[in-house]
Structure 1
Amino acid sequence: MNSFNRESITLWITWVSRVCAIVCLVSSFAHYALAVEPHRYSDGRPAASLRLDTDDAGIMIRHGEGPSDCDIYGAREAIIFEHKGEYFLHYDGAGPDGWLACLAVSKNLSDWELLGPVLDLGTNGSDDSASAASPWVIHDGSQWHMFYLGTPNASLPPDRCPAFPYLTLKATSSDPRGPWTKQYDIVPFRTKPDTFCSATASPGHILKRGSKYLMFFSGSTPYPDVKRTLGIARTDDLNRPWKVDPYPIVPLDQQIENSSLYYEDATGVWYLFTNHIGINDERQEFTDAVWVYWTSDLDKWDINDKAVVLDGSNCKWSSECVGMPSVLKCGDRLAVFYDAPGGDSMDHMYRDIGLAWLDLPLTRPDSSQVGR
């Protein structure tokens, strides 16, 4: 073999080696990028790179099984609390007249007694004439207080899906089962133009800290460019107006709504569970996942401290769409209730209530727990 051929072969080997190295480098970078950014949305909205996966137990309550067709068109937005060994779960039942807060009770989280609506629609012209749903309940030591979503607007029958504005209304009762008395004269807070809650200001998780109550409520901007986030409202009297913080806990581009909090005593960390609104390539928005944010200070939240809890990759029965979560400690596990339409549907209607579990104590995920 002459020297020319030897040099040509050497150059060719060197060139191939360099190409292979570049390919490996690009491949490694792509793998890293996918790990950090597991899901890119068509409009560029932020994604969650970490995961704190639940163990999904499947459907707990199926729509259409409530009394008097109260949830014939869907059951969603499950909100759970416990009182004296009994579990109370309010959910939005889509019935013949609209979406109403319905109640289910259980002693074991498996067998549920469906009791039907606990609220009715308001009269024409009232703030809850089209829907009275999604109630958050708290006891002040003497009476029960309910803060629920009301709106005078809804889509056409049979769906009657609530439409903006979403407002926070109030009711009270001496018993967690009701009956509930609406208090139209008490206005907790309202939407406010040119703010993060200009189109919606709907209720969320309520907790007491010292002498004050904090509510992590949902706020959004109007159509057509809707953006969503959570804010904090505060009061020291549940029968008086609340003061809304001027800024949300995270920016509007996070596209989250609804809240449910859990405090981990072992670490002193708060975990806020919320549902994320995703968007597909056809620019259709839908509830695509349950996310969790965490902090040691309820007044300070970092948008990087978040993870996916439940989505189509770990939900056993709904591959695309997973809706609003609420959580409750049950022994050494955290119950995560949610809603979903099942299969590859992204529909607002015909949803069922599911249950998933997280082991306690909760620990913050790290870079080893990256997204799909």
Structure 2
Amino acid sequence: MINYPDGRPGCRLRLPAHDHGVVLRHGDPWDALGAREASIAVENGVFHLFYDGAGPTGWLACLATSTDLVHWTKHGPVLDLGPPGADDSATASSPWVFRADDGWHMFYVGSPNATPPPGRIPAFPYLTCAATSDQLAGPWRKTPELIPFRPVPGTYYADTASPGAIIELDGEFLQFFSASAGGDRPLRTLGLARTRDLGGRWELSAEPILPPAEQIENSTLHYEPGLDTWFLFTNHVGIDERGAEFTDAIWVYWSRDPRSWNPEHKAVVLDGANCSWSSRCLGMPTVIRYGDRLALLYDGPGGDSQDHLHRDLGLAWLDLPLSPPSRR
């Protein structure tokens, strides 16, 4: 287990993935400075991978498609920046999608703030914005009149209330959103948002689903029916000897009730020990079943870099069915 210099909790167990390596590289005009923060969905047998392209005007949600998860065709941005002063005027990125009876719903990260060019890295506050489409590939129609939820001062989501994975359970939709508070030295965790109407407001849990000391962000879930168990994959944010924070691993938590999670029930899935190309920094995970394996896509800058830019997307595999690792 890694012991962090500031004492943040580590992870004793491992549920290791088998890394395939890079499957999508940045370098086209819309992702010239990086490709990162992927989320995946499938329609009519075609996998649709949404990812952040760091391009000439800012970070935008882009699309790539595949039938085998290894070979991808890029299609460019599916969203554009909002007008000056809009919630998504500096970024429209990191989307999560869900299919409902009335079509596809997208929840994406917007912010009116970003670092100076050329990087244009999105900056707080991270806001949840919405869009809809009849087809997964788009065209996507923004719905700026809908405000799903926002950061609230004095809460665990004071600085960030950004979208995450969505499941449907017992007649309502549950969204596992990223939350942070604390300004320049934030505490990061996940909260639970609930609604019965994807086109309406969401109710946010008064407490996070895991302690902010866990320092995690982003969410993607897999349900294992044989065990009646949910597996929640997320980024862990570590800290180096200089005090710089960066995403150093992908962790997984497990629970039979997706509304209740135990911080002791967690394991490392992918980090520098088993990633074949990015030995120090690993970004947002997304998972989807493919035959008898679970595919995990993620981003990284490669080598020992911790850079927010110049990232590519990698693929790793876990054998199914998943089981929590032994504590012995």
Q: Does 1:309 align with 2:269?
A: yes
Q: Residues 38-53 of structure 1 correspond to what in structure 2 (within 5 A)?
A: 38-53=1-16
1:233 aligns with 2:193: yes
The residue number in structure 2 matching 1:59 is 22
Q: 2:59 aligned to 87, 91, 99, which one?
A: 99
Q: Tell me which amino acid in the other structure corresponds to 1:335.
A: A
Q: Give the CA deviation at 1:209.
A: 1.0
Q: Which letter does structure 1 place at the counterpart of 2:15?
A: L
Matches within 5 A, 1:8-23: none
Query: CA–CA distance in 2 between the matches of 1:40 and 1:94?
Result: 33
| 1:45 partner amino acid | R
Query: How far has the Cα of 1:222 moved from its partner?
Result: 3.4
Tell me the distance in 1 between the aligned counterparts of 2:148 and 2:184: 27
Corresponding residue for residue 75 of structure 1: 35
Aligned AA for 2:10? A
For 1:330 and 1:339, the matched residues in 2 are separated by: 19
Write 1 or 2 for the structure with the bigger share of helix. 1
- Aligned partners of 1:217 and 1:63: how far apart in 2? 27
Paired with 2:185 and 2:305, the residues of 1 have a C-alpha distance of: 23
TM-score (norm 1): 0.87
The amino acid across from 2:25 in the alignment is R
1:328 aligned partner = 288
The aligned residue for residue 181 of structure 1 is: 141
Map of 1:111-126 to 2, 5 A cutoff?
111-126=71-86
1:208-231 CA distances to partner (integer Å, 9 max, x unpaired)?
113210000000013222110000
Q: Would you identify which runs of 4 or more consecutive aligned residues in structure 1 move more than 2 Å?
A: none
Aligned match of 1:270: 230
Aligned residues: 328
- State how far apart, in whole Å, the 1-side matches of 2:69 and 2:280 are: 25
- Tell me the distance in 2 between the aligned counterparts of 1:77 and 1:224: 21
User: What is residue 286 of structure 1 aligned with on the other side?
Assistant: 246
Equivalence for 1:7: none
Once the two structures are superposed, what CA deviation does each residue of 1:194-242 show, in whole Å capped at 9, x if it has no partner? 1110000000001111321000000001322211000000000011100
The 2-side partners of 1:271 and 1:176 are apart by: 25
1:118-157 alignment, distance < 5 Å: 118-157=78-117
1:16-37 per-position Cα deviation (integer Å, ceiling 9, x unaligned)? xxxxxxxxxxxxxxxxxxxxxx
Q: 1:46 is aligned with what amino acid?
A: P
User: RMSD in angstroms over aligned alpha carbons?
Assistant: 0.7
Could you say what secondary structure the match of 2:213 adopts?
Answer: helix
Identity of aligned residues (%): 55
Whether 2:121 is the aligned partner of 1:158: answer no
Q: Please give the per-residue CA displacement for 1:109-159, whole angstroms capped at 9, x wherever unaligned.
A: 122110000000000000000000000111112311100000000001111
Q: Which runs of 5+ in 2 are unaligned?
A: none
1:249 aligned partner, one-letter code: I
SS of structure 1 residue aligned to 2:47: strand
Counterpart residue type for residue 283 of structure 1: G
